[in-house]
Amino acid sequence: MNDSLDLLDLAARAAERAGAYIRQAAPSASRSETASSPQRPWEPKGHHDWASEVDREAERLITETLRAGTPHAGVVAEESSPDLVRSGLVWIVDPLDGTTNFLHGYQQYAVSVAAAIDGVLEAGVVLDVTRECRYGALRGRGAWCGSERLSVSDDAEPGRALLGTGFPFKYLEHLDGYLAQFRRLLPATSGIRRTGSAALDLADVAAGRLDGFWELQLAPWDIAAGVLLVREAGGLVTDLSGHDIGVEHCAVVAGGPSMHAWLLRQLAASAG
C-alpha cells in the first residue's frame, strides 16, 4: 500500500480511532478530574514534558491500525519508537500533540499521522480532537479540511499579521534568543499566539488563520503532517536558515511565501 490516497485513508482511520478514544478519556471541565486525578497520573518525560496512559493507548491504537494496513512499514512514534527511520515507508506519529493541554482540560490538542517514503512526506493527517476537524494533505495534490481546500494567507503586510509560536519550554538554553525574536516580532505584527500544539498551529497556517509560525525546536512527530499541510496549501516550511525540512528534529518557520520571507529576515536580524 504505497499509493498516496491509500496512505491518506489509512492515516485518517488511525487518527480517528485514536481521536475517539481520547475524547472518551478526556478530563471534564472540572479541575478536580484533570491532572490531580489518580486515574490520570502525570508522568514526566523531561523538563516540563509530560505523558500519560492516554498517550500510550492512543499510540497503541494508531500503530495497530497502521501495521494492519502496512505490515512492513516502519513507525516513528513519540512514546514508543522515537528513533528516526528514513528508508522505505515510514509512519511518523504523535498520538496526542498537546498532552499538557489535555491533562489540564484545555481543549487544544491533536492527533498527527504522516507517511514518508525514503524521507519524502507523501500523506498527512492532523485531527483536531475537540473540534472534530480532520485536516489532510497529499504531496502534489493539495490540502483540505473535510471537503474544503486549504490555502495559506497571502497577506504580505506584517502589521496585519497574526503569528503562531511555541515557547522553548523544554530547551531553556534557547530562551534568551527566543525572547529577542519575540521582542522584535511583537511590535511589528497584529499579534502572536501560543496554543501548545504545533500540529494545530501548522494546520492554522495552512488554513490561513495564522499568517506565519515559528518555533526553535520541534520533533518530527510534532510537525510531519503539519509541514505537508502548509506546503500543499501553498506555503513554505523551512528551518531558520531557509532550508526545507523533512523528517527531523529542527527549528520551524512557516507561512505564505511573502510572510515566510519576512519572518526569516526578522528572525535573523534578532540575532544581531
| Span 69-117, pLDDT tens digits | 999 999 999 877 777 778 899 999 999 999 999 999 999 999 999 999 9
Contact between residue 191 and residue 216 where contact means Cβ atoms under 8 Å apart:
no
Structural domain 4-149, CATH architecture = 2-Layer Sandwich (3.30)
Q: What is the pTM of this model?
A: 0.92
Give every CB contact of residue 245 below 8 A, 6+ residues apart in sequence: 223, 227, 237, 238, 239, 252
pLDDT, tens digit (0-9, with 9 covering 90-100), for 58-71 = 999 999 999 999 99
Split at pLDDT 50, 70, 90, the class of 34 is very low
Count the alpha carbons within 13 Å of 62 in the hemisphere toward its beta carbon. Answer: 35
Phi-psi label, residue 166: left if phi above 0, alpha if psi -120 to 50, beta otherwise: beta
CA distance 141 to 168: 33
How many helices, marked H, and strands, marked E, lie in the chain?
A: 7, 14
Cell 528508508, located at residue: 87
Mean pLDDT, rounded, for 42-48: 56
Lowest mean pLDDT segment, chosen from 41-45, 98-102, 143-147: 41-45
Split at pLDDT 50, 70, 90, the class of 50 is low
Identify which of 72, 57, 153, 160 has the alpha carbon closest to the alpha carbon of residue 102: 57
CA distance 234 to 217: 23
CA 188 to chain centre: 25
Split at pLDDT 50, 70, 90, the class of 36 is very low
Give every CB contact of residue 272 below 8 A, 6+ residues apart in sequence: none
Same fold, 4-149 and 158-270: no
pLDDT at 37 over 50: no
pLDDT at 2: 59
pLDDT at 27: 80
pLDDT at 33: 47
Cell triple for 99: 498532552
Rounded to the nearest integer, the mean pLDDT of the chain is 91
The fraction of the chain above a pLDDT of 70, given in percent, is 90
Domain ranges of the chain: 4-149, 158-270
Where does 26-110 have alpha helices with state H? 53-69, 99-104
244 DSSP 8-state letter: B
Give every CB contact of residue 55 below 8 A, 6+ residues apart in sequence: 78, 79, 95, 96, 99
CA distance 92 to 76: 5
Which CATH number is associated with domain 158-270?
A: 3.40.190.80
3 state DSSP class of 131: coil
